[in-house]
């Protein structure tokens, strides 16, 4: 190649999506800074098919950026010049076809440096084009500067980000042009004013692609695989968790929070989690409102994927971990001790929310309140089938399906069953004042029951307990005086002697000694002795 060196800094502009284009604009910002040091120009280089119009977008993120709009944006973000290389073969973008065209233009102009935002495409294109130009390539730069002697120095993370290596080009390496890939967030693009620079269009006469590759088709990943990128909350697990089993706690936390699971590279390599969950330079970029990063060191290759996250919570046992530099909230703790506690607190708050949603439904008698949707998210997050949740809560699967579809509003006892399935004490998700009022009601009914002589408490001093047992004695052929016969919770009745008629709503059951019944105590219920002797039964109440 010719080495008619200029002091210009070129930037390859990626038009494949708005996100990639924004990364390119960040690189324009970096190029502008460097161009000031080299006294050269920042030149944005686009490769487009002349007729490239609106490519039908499947989603906002999929939408390719239109070249005309991109040219203007490059100029308003500080490019001194936009060079547009045109050929109908540039659509769809392919690194093997772009590389020779780009290398040709670079050889002709001889810029000092060519920057590529670090994406899969940018990485491949930089490698191919630098090879064709027989030029040096500094990969994965966190930052770049021009040293006092005019040489370009890249600052590159090594050893999981704990070391920053300064890398430059070997003297006399082929050409005076250097190539570098820069992290997508190496610089924050900001508009610098009205466009002042020029746009130069140059047709590329012939494409020198290898010709052995043929693109048969392309489509975006299905929505189910893109949930991580669009999630509002992401919980990321790192190598510090130490085992697949411990990584399960990350999944558990994510399921309770209705979050998506992400991972650094080691958990993917160790097969604790699917590679679709990888976040970072070679994985996905996420932009959740809340990101919880557990036992991750903060390697630049990982943090490149979380730069657009809102609030970042970091859990690491090493107070010196670089990851804390990214934290809005930093927690120095052993993940294996901390996660179970956090999960428990999160479960309580989820149950609290479910209880609120259920109360709202009860009050308004409407569907679509979100209880069913929240329940489905909770169930799916745990990887439970309808059948598994049905079994865990003692309900038929059809009932769960109806609750999730918000066709019916479940009784409060269902919430108790759900709490049991999640291993949460139901009392913990009630508000303090509700807990107090329930305590009072429980105490009241306890006293009333013990003052009614047909009751004998078997759980002395247990007025505030959720689970209480009574020995109930009913006079021959008498209905026992119904006290608080309808209440939230569950009831278990076991007949010791005599014959009992148990009326549940409009249904009557006859129970003989040794027989029992377990029911939702919110259904109005009555006990009657059918014998000519006293009927004695064990009654166990479970109340919230
Ligand atoms: C070209 C290239 C591309 C790469 N691409 C990616 C990528 O896309 N994504 C990616 O993630 N990585 C990528 N990597 C790997 C990357 O460099 C790091 O090695 C990786 O991110 C480290 O993962 P980690 O933070 O989970 O593990 P480590 O660096 O091993 O850190 C583990 C952390 O856990 C903490 N810890 C240990 N035990 C506990 C405990 N019990 N409780 C709490 N904290 C604990 C430690 O203090 C440490 O800070 C790439 C590397 C290269 C070379």
Are 238 and 263 a contacting pair, CB within 8 Å?
A: yes
Are 86 and 203 a contacting pair, CB within 8 Å?
A: yes
E strand segments, 188-307: 198-203, 233-237, 260-263, 290-294
- H or E element, residue 106: helix 95-109
CATH C-level class of 339-429: mainly alpha
The domain 434-542: what is its CATH number? 2.60.120.10
Distance of CA 482 to the CA centre of its chain: 51
The reported pTM is 0.62
> In the 3-class helix/strand/coil scheme, how is 20-84 assigned residue by residue?
HHHHHHHHHHHHHHHHHHHCCCEEEEEEECCCCCCCCCCCCCCCCCCHHHHHHHHHHCCCCEEEE
> Can you tell me the distance from the alpha carbon of 496 to that of 510, in angstroms, rounded to the nearest whole number?
13
> Can you tell me the distance from the alpha carbon of 167 to that of 451, in angstroms, rounded to the nearest whole number?
86
Q: Exposure of 447 by Cβ count < 10 A (0-12 exposed, 13-18 middle, 19+ buried)?
A: exposed
Query: 296, 332, 342: which to mutate for ligand 1, most atoms within 8 A of CB?
Result: 296
What's the gap in Å between 322 CA and the centre of ligand 1? 11
pLDDT for the residue numbered 381: 67
pLDDT for the residue numbered 193: 80
* Closest protein CA for atom 41 of ligand 1: 334
What's the gap in Å between 237 CA and the centre of ligand 1? 9
Check pocket membership of 334 for ligand 1, CB cut-off 6 A.
yes
Distance of CA 56 to the CA centre of its chain: 28
- Residue 468 CA: distances (Å) to CA of 38, 133, 370: 82, 82, 33
Check pocket membership of 321 for ligand 1, CB cut-off 6 A.
yes
CB-CB neighbours of 510 under 10 Å: 12
Check pocket membership of 20 for ligand 1, CB cut-off 6 A.
no
> In the 3-class helix/strand/coil scheme, how is 124-161 assigned residue by residue?
HHHHHHHHHCCCEEEEEECEEEECCCCCEEEEEEECCC
Residue with tokens 């009784």: 411
pLDDT for the residue numbered 4: 46
> In the 3-class helix/strand/coil scheme, how is 108-120 assigned residue by residue?
HHCCCEEEEECCH
Residue with tokens 């019944």: 517
Check pocket membership of 299 for ligand 1, CB cut-off 6 A.
yes
> Can you tell me the distance from the alpha carbon of 22 to that of 34, in angstroms, rounded to the nearest whole number?
19
> Can you tell me the distance from the alpha carbon of 108 to that of 157, in angstroms, rounded to the nearest whole number?
32
Are 161 and 300 a contacting pair, CB within 8 Å?
A: yes
pLDDT per residue, tens digit, the chain (544 aa), is: 444 479 999 999 999 888 889 999 999 999 999 999 899 999 999 999 886 554 444 444 455 678 888 999 999 999 999 999 999 888 888 999 999 999 999 999 999 999 999 888 999 999 999 999 999 999 989 899 998 888 899 999 877 666 789 999 987 664 579 999 998 888 888 898 887 889 999 999 888 765 677 778 777 766 666 788 888 999 999 999 999 999 999 998 998 888 899 999 999 999 999 999 999 988 888 989 999 999 999 998 899 889 889 999 999 999 999 999 999 999 999 999 999 999 988 887 777 777 777 666 544 444 555 778 878 877 876 778 888 888 888 788 898 898 888 887 777 667 777 777 776 655 555 555 555 555 555 545 444 444 444 667 776 666 556 677 788 888 888 776 555 466 777 888 889 899 999 888 888 899 999 888 888 877 888 888 898 888 888 888 777 6
> Can you tell me the distance from the alpha carbon of 242 to that of 427, in angstroms, rounded to the nearest whole number?
34
pLDDT for the residue numbered 347: 81
Query: 306, 316, 324: which to mutate for ligand 1, most atoms within 8 A of CB?
Result: 316
The domain 226-333: what is its CATH number? 3.40.50.1220
pLDDT for the residue numbered 296: 97
Check pocket membership of 336 for ligand 1, CB cut-off 6 A.
yes
Ligand 1 atom with the smallest distance to the CA of 334 is 42
Are 330 and 324 a contacting pair, CB within 8 Å?
A: yes
What residue spans define the domains of the chain?
9-203, 226-333, 339-429, 434-542
Q: Exposure of 317 by Cβ count < 10 A (0-12 exposed, 13-18 middle, 19+ buried)?
A: middle
The sheet that has 525-529: what strands, in order across it?
507-511, 500-504, 525-529
User: Between the CA atoms of 448, 453, 455 and 460, what dihedral angle is there, to the nearest 10 degrees?
Assistant: 70
Are 400 and 407 a contacting pair, CB within 8 Å?
A: no
Residue with tokens 């259904």: 523
> Can you tell me the distance from the alpha carbon of 328 to that of 308, in angstroms, rounded to the nearest whole number?
13
Q: 441-446 long-range CB contacts below 8 Å, 24 or more apart?
A: 442/543, 445/483, 445/484, 445/487
Nearest to 298 by CA among 322, 325, 334, 278: 322
Do domains 226-333 and 434-542 share one topology? The answer is no
* Closest protein CA for atom 48 of ligand 1: 297
DSSP symbols for 306-358: STT-SEEEEEES-TT-GGGGG-SEEEES-HHHHHHHHHHHHHHHHHHHHHHHH
Query: Which superfamily does 9-203 belong to?
Result: HUPs (3.40.50.620)
> Can you tell me the distance from the alpha carbon of 60 to that of 43, in angstroms, rounded to the nearest whole number?
27
pLDDT for the residue numbered 486: 66
DSSP three-state, residue 371 = helix
């Amino acid at each position: 190649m010719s080495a008619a060196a200029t002091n210009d800094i070129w930037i390859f502009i990626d038009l494949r999506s708005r996100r990639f284009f924004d990364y390119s604009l960040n690189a324009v910002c970096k190029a502008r800074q460097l161009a000031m040091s080299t006294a050269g120009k920042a030149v944005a280089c686009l490769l487009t098919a002349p007729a490239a119009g609106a490519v039908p977008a499947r989603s906002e993120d999929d939408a390719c950026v239109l070249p005309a709009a991109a040219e203007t944006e490059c100029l308003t973000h500080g490019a001194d010049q936009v060079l547009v290389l045109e050929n109908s073969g540039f659509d769809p973008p392919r690194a093997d076809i772009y590389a020779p065209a780009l290398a040709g233009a670079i050889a002709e102009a001889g810029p000092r440096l060519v920057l590529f935002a670090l994406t899969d495409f940018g990485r491949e294109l930089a490698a191919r084009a630098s090879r064709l130009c027989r030029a040096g390539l500094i990969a994965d730069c966190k930052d770049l500067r021009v040293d006092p002697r005019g040489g370009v120095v890249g600052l590159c993370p090594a050893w999981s980000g704990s070391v920053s290596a300064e890398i430059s080009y070997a003297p006399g390496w082929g050409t005076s042009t250097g190539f570098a890939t820069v992290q997508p967030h190496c610089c924050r693009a900001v508009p610098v004013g009205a466009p002042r620079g020029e746009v130069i269009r140059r047709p590329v006469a012939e494409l020198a692609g290898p010709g052995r590759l043929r693109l048969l088709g392309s489509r975006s990943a299905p929505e189910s695989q893109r949930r991580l990128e669009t999630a509002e909350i992401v919980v990321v697990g790192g190598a510090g968790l130490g085992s697949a089993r411990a990584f399960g706690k990350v999944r558990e936390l994510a399921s309770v929070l209705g979050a998506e699971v992400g991972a650094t590279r080691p958990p993917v390599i160790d097969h604790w989690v699917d590679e679709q969950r990888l976040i970072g330079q070679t994985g996905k970029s996420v932009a959740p409102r809340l990101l919880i990063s557990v036992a991750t060191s903060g390697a630049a290759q990982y943090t490149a994927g979380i730069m657009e996250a809102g609030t970042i919570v970091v859990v690491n046992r090493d107070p010196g971990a670089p990851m804390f530099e990214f934290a809005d909230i930093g927690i120095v703790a052993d993940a294996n001790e901390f996660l179970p506690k956090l999960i428990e607190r999160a479960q309580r708050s989820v149950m609290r929310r479910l209880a609120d949603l259920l109360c709202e439904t009860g009050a308004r008698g409407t569907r679509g309140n979100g209880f069913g949707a929240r329940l489905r998210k909770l169930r799916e997050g745990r990887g439970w089938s309808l059948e598994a949740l049905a079994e865990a809560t003692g309900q038929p699967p059809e009932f769960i399906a109806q609750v999730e579809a918000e066709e019916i509003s479940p009784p409060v006892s269902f919430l108790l069953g759900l709490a049991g399935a999640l291993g949460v004490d139901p009392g913990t998700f009630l508000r303090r004042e509700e807990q107090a009022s329930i305590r009072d009601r429980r105490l009241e009914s306890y006293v009333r029951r013990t003052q009614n002589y047909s009751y004998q408490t078997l759980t002395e001093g247990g007025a505030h307990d959720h689970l209480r047992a009574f020995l109930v004695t009913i006079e021959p052929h008498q209905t026992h005086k119904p006290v608080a016969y309808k209440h939230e919770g569950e009831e278990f009745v076991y007949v010791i002697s005599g014959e009992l008629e148990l009326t549940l709503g409009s249904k009557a059951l006859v129970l003989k000694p040794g027989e029992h019944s377990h029911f939702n105590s919110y259904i109005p219920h009555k006990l009657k002795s059918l014998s000519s002797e006293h009927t004695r039964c064990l009654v166990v109440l479970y109340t919230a």
